[in-house]
Amino acid sequence: MNFLKRLTFLTIFLAGLSSCENNRWKVDLGTHESQFELGRFELDLFQHSANMDSLAIAELKKKYPHLLPLYSQAIMRFGELEDLETILTFEKFTSDVNILELYEAVKEQYPENSLQVESALLSDAFARYQYHFEGVTIPQLRTMISAFTYSTVVDEDLLVIGLDNYLGADFKLYPQAGIPEYKFKHFSKEYMVADAMKAWLLTDFPSDEAQNLLEQMIYNGKIIYLCSALLPELEEHILFDYHVDELLWCQENSEEIWSHFLEFELLFNTENHKIRKYMGDAPFIPGFPEGSPGRVGQWLGYEIVKEFMDRNKDLELKDLMELADANEILRRSKYKPA
């Protein structure tokens, strides 16, 4: 199996925008029941920490036939499950003092039978997704510990959440692990659901054709807009992996942001370092006023897409995702911040 074929790793960011009131994309879920069977892989893995051997690996593989090889080979890079060295690596990992401390923190924050709210939100989101996009896959939902490596992993029919990246901004091991403060201040439970949904959508709708900055902006704006439709329960700032004050800064400086992109002729720029500057994760954006958050290009892309959809109410979500021409979306949006 080619585990890297559809593997998407994110540390990332997300949440829902639309309020439940006056929601254009409201779907009557009716008698919809949760389709997610949540598997707590990390709990089962560390149950074997005292006797990690080939029998334990076989038992884990029986319960997690897709996730265990993925975890060993692609996520943690321990190696092939059939190799003795891999079993020894699992043994060292599950008995390591620092990893055990991390595991205990995860177990305390997310005990068995927790995460029911998060699972229900994702189940509803995928029910809406199925309604708007017929025939889409409903993934299996699993959790793990990856020693801060990945917040979310997507592979084929599997959606995996790294719970060690959602232990709260004040979790003591984040700075000890060398994670920059601007990153771990968003490592909170409230971002989990949106992160997971966005990770899945980024995989279902790859960005192969997005070359210049405008195309990247519109692509990410479409993903965020779709997330807002599928997760109407979540607060607006969560969708952008922002704090409330960071989103407020973007809204209050929308004219200056747009003028900056136009003045420096950035929209059709194809330089990677320029695209990363405005689209990538960062504590701030050089050249912008104090208080600017990173990923301003993603926020701006969403604003353009939202304006476009507001002006074209005959379009469905599927139409939006199929429309590849970023220039057309910008033109028909008539975007001009007030």
Whether residue 58 is contained in a domain is answered as yes
pLDDT score for 34: 61
Domain that holds residue 124: 8-193
Are residues 218 and 279 located together in one domain of the fold?
A: yes
Whether residue 96 is contained in a domain is answered as yes
Q: What is the pLDDT of residues 211-255, one digit of tens each?
A: 999 999 999 999 999 999 999 999 999 999 999 999 999 999 999
Query: What is the full per-residue pLDDT of the chain (338 aa) written as tens digits?
Result: 343 334 443 433 333 343 444 578 988 887 666 677 899 999 999 999 889 999 999 999 999 999 999 999 999 999 999 999 999 999 999 999 999 999 999 999 999 999 999 999 999 999 999 999 998 989 999 999 999 999 999 999 999 999 999 999 999 999 999 999 999 888 999 999 999 999 999 999 998 888 999 999 999 999 999 999 999 999 999 999 999 999 999 999 999 999 999 999 999 999 999 999 999 999 999 889 888 999 999 999 999 999 999 999 999 999 999 999 999 999 999 999 97
Whether residue 37 is contained in a domain is answered as yes
Whether residue 1 is contained in a domain is answered as no
Q: What is the pLDDT of residues 115-168, one digit of tens each?
A: 999 999 999 999 999 999 998 989 999 999 999 999 999 999 999 999 999 999
Whether residue 287 is contained in a domain is answered as yes
Buried b (16+ CB within 10 A) or exposed e, 52-80: beeebbeebeeebebbbbbbbbbbbebbe
Are residues 180 and 86 located together in one domain of the fold?
A: yes
Q: Where is the domain boundary, 140, 158, 193?
A: 193
Q: What is the dihedral of CA 219, 223, 247, 303, to 10 degrees?
A: 60
pLDDT score for 13: 35
Are residues 28 and 134 located together in one domain of the fold?
A: yes
Are residues 261 and 113 located together in one domain of the fold?
A: no
Are residues 170 and 281 located together in one domain of the fold?
A: no
Tokens describing residue 109? 């924050």
Are residues 89 and 37 located together in one domain of the fold?
A: yes
Look up residue 240 and give its DSSP letter: T
Please tell me whether residue 22 adopts helix, strand or coil conformation: coil
Whether residue 46 is contained in a domain is answered as yes
Are residues 31 and 133 located together in one domain of the fold?
A: yes
| CA dihedral (239, 139, 20, 202) positive or negative | positive
Asked whether the beta carbons of 192 and 166 are under 8 A apart, the reply is yes
Are residues 153 and 25 located together in one domain of the fold?
A: yes
Are residues 173 and 217 located together in one domain of the fold?
A: no
Nearest-10 crossing angle of helices 192-204, 116-132: 30
* β-bridge mates for residue 126, sequence order: none
Q: How many CA atoms lie within 13 A of 325 on its CB side?
A: 6
pLDDT score for 27: 86
Are residues 275 and 187 located together in one domain of the fold?
A: no
pLDDT score for 75: 97
Are residues 106 and 229 located together in one domain of the fold?
A: no
pLDDT score for 26: 87
Whether residue 177 is contained in a domain is answered as yes
Q: How many independent structural domains does the chain possess?
A: 2
Phi, psi of 14 (to 5 degrees): 175, 175
